[in-house]
Amino acid sequence: MEKKGISRAVINRLPRYYRYLGLLMDQGIDRISSSELSRRMNVTASQIRQDLNLFGGFGQQGYGYNVPHLHDEIGKILGLDKSYSMIVIGAGKLAQAISGYFGFEKRGFRIEAMFDRDPDKYGGVSLRGIQIHPLDQLEEYLKEHTIDIAVLAIPADSARMITPVLVEGGVRGIWNFAHTDLDVPENVTVQSVHLSESLMQLSYKINH
Amino acid sequence: MEKKGISRAVINRLPRYYRYLGLLMDQGIDRISSSELSRRMNVTASQIRQDLNLFGGFGQQGYGYNVPHLHDEIGKILGLDKSYSMIVIGAGKLAQAISGYFGFEKRGFRIEAMFDRDPDKYGGVSLRGIQIHPLDQLEEYLKEHTIDIAVLAIPADSARMITPVLVEGGVRGIWNFAHTDLDVPENVTVQSVHLSESLMQLSYKINH
């Protein structure tokens, strides 16, 4: 289904297509032309055709796109047809916010445990009942459990210290909220959410 | 200091330069060559020279970059030499995480109030002592206070409903954590942090 060499820009746009197609499905809309999708998404129709044609023949002349089919195919490309076991490192407010969001679980991202230096924070369980383990049991835990994704919701120094433990423990992806870059081998993916940098981009744009 | 037409890609890289230069200052390093900065940041030296030369003559042949000066100049470009009044819409865990982060205030982003449908959440004040107001007082509040930035830490539907109130109330920038796009006039900037989309990008990369 997928061609090689899809640019990062296209990949970054796929979740937004996925979101809009999901909204259309919620509204009971089964097919849509590229021009109508263009109007709703505020992207040119030619961009939409170019992006979606990369994944091969979803659109048909005079018919438009089959919404559920396209939603499904983009979901598969994004890996949303699989499920992922996750742990959250940290149990502070950001960690609680992330682990409390039902939407992730609905998409197959299951949070199985949290880890914190202070495992008794909030009485030892997250608001959704996920157990908070002592951080020094992380290495042992990873020997006994297969974890796909670790979320880092801890300060930068701790994040750098914990990363080798995660890599050694077989984690395939790190969702990094710490304000630092991380050194990982090629077989591990880091996706960072740098909130401070996002806020700086906002202040730049306000001033220009 | 700044030339016209700086690409969005460069702007997106500026906060990372700013972060590394800050780390160098913390280590007492006053000047650095583009090749050494390149090694630390894992970016080519020619990219660094190209990016930083856009802002005019910071580097000197055989001397390298003056770290505090460059840090200062990039800070100014990013608008970090000014201060910003902020409000947070929502008082849930994500809102609390954002309003509890001291780093933002240190950079001049002052959170002055929070708003929630349930202002008694957490006893009416955030963990840092910021007052939580009833959401229906937002319009009135904005008549009496000049607010530069509003943070949206509420669900998508509410975010779309509140946006016109913020625009009408003179807010210049919206830092949007709701999983939706927002319609705003040209003089208002939206910077979105779509956590679900970031997680989907991670699952894409894990699978490819």
* pLDDT number for residue A205: 94
User: Of A45, A37, A44, which Cα lies nearest the Cα of A20?
Assistant: A37
Cross-strand bridge partners of residue B152: B89, B176
What phi and psi, each to the nearest 5 degrees, are found at residue B136?
-75, 0
Cβ–Cβ of A96/B93 closer than 8 Å? yes
As a whole number of angstroms, the distance between CA A203 and CA B2 comes to: 15
Mutate to test the interface with B, among A200, A201, A205 (most CBs of B within 10 A): A200
DSSP, res B101: -
Q: Does A76 touch chain B (CB under 8 A)?
A: no
pLDDT digits (tens, 9 = 90+) for B38-58: 999 999 999 998 888 776 556
Mutate to test the interface with A, among B39, B188, B202, B207 (most CBs of A within 10 A): B202
* pLDDT number for residue B109: 96
* pLDDT number for residue A78: 94
Residue B84 has pLDDT above 70, yes or no: yes
Residue B11 binned pLDDT confidence (cut-offs 50, 70, 90): confident
Buried b (16+ CB within 10 A) or exposed e, B42-75: ebeeeebbebbebbeebbeeeebbbbeebbbbbb
Cβ–Cβ of A197/B172 closer than 8 Å? no
Closest residue in A to B96 (Cα) is A93
Residue B103 has pLDDT above 90, yes or no: no
Cβ–Cβ of B201/A194 closer than 8 Å? no
Cβ–Cβ of A98/B205 closer than 8 Å? no
pLDDT digits (tens, 9 = 90+) for B136-181: 999 999 999 999 999 999 999 999 999 999 999 999 999 999 999 9
Q: Which two tokens stand for residue A35?
A: 């021009």
* Residue A142 C-alpha, separation from nearest chain B C-alpha, in angstroms: 18
Strand, coil or helix: B79: coil
* pLDDT number for residue B3: 47
Sheet holding A64-66, edge to edge: A31-32, A64-66, A59-60
* Residue A137 C-alpha, separation from nearest chain B C-alpha, in angstroms: 25
* pLDDT number for residue B160: 97
Residues of B in contact with A194 (CB under 8 A): 15-16
The ranges of chain A with pLDDT < 70 are: 1-5, 55-61, 122-123, 127
Residues of A in contact with B74 (CB under 8 A): none
Closest residue in A to B12 (Cα) is A201
Mutate to test the interface with B, among A203, A205, A207 (most CBs of B within 10 A): A203
Please say whether the dihedral angle defined by the alpha carbons of residues B155, B161, B164 and B169, taken in this order, is positive or negative.
Answer: negative
Whole-complex ipTM: 0.91
Strand, coil or helix: A85: strand
Q: Which pTM value belongs to this model?
A: 0.91
Domain annotation for chain B: domains and CATH numbers: 8-77 (1.10.10.10), 84-198 (3.40.50.720)
